[in-house]
Each structure stands twice: as C-alpha cells, then as structure tokens.
Amino acid sequence: MDDIVKQAMAKWPNVPDCFGWLGLDGRGDWYLRDDAAQAVGAFNSGKPGAKGSRLQHEKLIDFIQRNYGADPKGRWFFQNGPQRVYVELQYTPWIWRIEDGGLVHAHTGTPTSVQASYLDESGLLYLSAPQGIGLIHTADMERAAMLVEQGVWSPQEVSAATLESQFGFVRSPALTANKT
C-alpha cells in the first residue's frame, strides 16, 4: 500500500466505504461505474452500459493495482486514500496472464505460483495461487491449454456457482453494503 494512502487513512479514519463504483472484468480491465451505469443494472448483468467506462489512465490503473486488497469477509477493494472503494468482480478477484514458458502473473503485474487449476461447466479455466483464485485471461487460453496437455496443470471440475464460497471471495460487495 502506498505511504500516502496510509497517511490519509490515519488522518481521516472514519471515511465511509464506497460500493458499486468500481468493477474488474474478466480481462483484468477496471471500470468506473457512475450513477448512470449503476442504474442500468449490476456489473455482471450483461446489460449495455452496466459495466460503466473502462479506465485507460495508466497512472490511475497502477495506483488502483498497488492499493488493491481484500477485507476479512472476502470483499475486494481499492484503498483510495482514507476511503475503501469496493470492487464488483465479473468473475474472480484475480485475472491471470501466462507468459511463454508458463510463468504466471496477475492483472496487477504481480508474479505468482500455481497451486491448483479448475475448469467450470462453461469451460472457463481458473488457477489457485497464494493470492487467491483467478480466471485465466482469454488471450492466454492457448498457452494454458498447452500446459494442461503437457500435464503441468490437471484441472479439477468446479461449479461457477460455488466459486465464491469455495474460495472465499465476494463478487458483488454492493449486495453486502448494509451488512458490514
């Protein structure tokens, strides 16, 4: 976490949490969800405009990613100074990228090691790592398939409906906003 964020938290300890305004999609892209986007529907609804606007400012994205974490309830957030901005997740809290040679890193750029792999009923491939569960980025599925074929990973079956409870994360913290 950035020092400036820690200082802001100490200076203003009672800033209310923010829900519904930030989303992370299955390609590791961040979305700002203003009032209009939220009025259209949930981040995962598939309705046009519900995801909001994709962030493109590199320094803002880097700041979010450096200050990204989870609370004890498995709700992922971005610590924006003294305010916690909870993240709506399209799939999982991590989106894994695979480099040639099988090296894996998160959408944040953090390298990781793979503990296990999982395949759901839709054919989505997930990896469990020390940071938590994450979805393989669609652009890296060919590399992932090669690693499975080579026996590096042996995916276990998993139900998409049970991912949250099985791996201890919350896709929509906005639904828990009044249950803090």
Same domain? 8 vs 44: yes
**What's the structural domain count of the chain?**
2
Same domain? 16 vs 84: yes
Same domain? 26 vs 73: yes
Same domain? 26 vs 87: yes
Same domain? 33 vs 107: no
Burial category of 106 from C-beta neighbours within 10 Å (exposed 0-12, middle 13-18, buried 19 and up):
buried
Distance CA 158, CA 116 (A): 12
For the chain, percent of residues with pLDDT exceeding 70: 91
Same domain? 74 vs 111: no
The pLDDT, as a whole number, for residue 180 is 47
Same domain? 64 vs 99: no
Amino acid identity of residue 162, one-letter, is: T
The pLDDT, as a whole number, for residue 118 is 98
CATH of the domain at 57: 3.10.540.10
Instruction: Using the predicted structure, report yes or no on whether residue 1 has a pLDDT greater than 70.
Output: no
Split at pLDDT 50, 70, 90, the class of 31 is: very high
Same domain? 121 vs 49: no
Q: What's the predicted TM-score (pTM) here?
A: 0.89
Query: E strands, the chain, where?
Result: 18-24, 30-32, 53-54, 68-70, 76-80, 83-89, 94-98, 104-106, 111-112, 116-119, 125-129, 132-136, 156-157
Same domain? 39 vs 70: yes
Give 124-143 pLDDT, tens digit per residue. 999 999 999 999 999 999 99
Give 73-125 pLDDT, tens digit per residue. 999 999 988 889 999 999 999 999 999 888 999 999 999 999 999 999 999 99
Q: Domain range for residue 112?
A: 94-164
Instruction: Using the predicted structure, report yes or no on whether residue 8 has a pLDDT greater than 70.
Output: no
